[in-house]
Amino acid sequence: MAGVDYRYELRCGEEVAATGHLSREEPLEVGERLEISGQQGIVRVIEPLLGEHELRLVVQLVRDRIYVLRPSLGADGDVDAAQLRRRVGATPS
């Protein structure tokens, strides 16, 4: 098998926390759990990119792992996506 290339978006709620490129021997499936740069997430979207060999991959961060990154959440319970971007350590695109 040749492997599959993805252009991913790591999301914290509706905000994009990080982007990058990922290659896998086996294709991913929607709903699958995945670790990217030490962050646990769930695959939400896989779709082709027009004119590209990569697939678009949207991964939603798992909340229990977000709390480890930033245990002091705001009064409304939301995670600060800007701070998460600084800590995620993903390969920028």
- Can you give the pLDDT at residue 6? 97
Q: Is pTM, for the whole model, over 0.85?
A: no
What does the pLDDT profile of the chain (93 residues) look like in tens digits? 579 999 999 999 899 999 999 999 999 999 999 998 888 999 999 999 999 999 999 999 987 544 444 444 444 445 455 545 444 444 444
What does the alpha-carbon distance between residue 26 and residue 46 come to, in Å, rounded to a whole number? 14
Residue 37's closest CA among 51, 57, 21?
21
Q: What HEC string does the chain produce?
A: CCCEEEEEEEEECCEEEEEEEEEECCCCCCCCEEEECCEEEEEEEEEECCCCCCEEEEEEECHHHHHHHCCCCCCCCCCCHHHHHHHHCCCCC
- Can you give the pLDDT at residue 1? 55
What does the alpha-carbon distance between residue 11 and residue 19 come to, in Å, rounded to a whole number? 9
What does the alpha-carbon distance between residue 53 and residue 27 come to, in Å, rounded to a whole number? 14
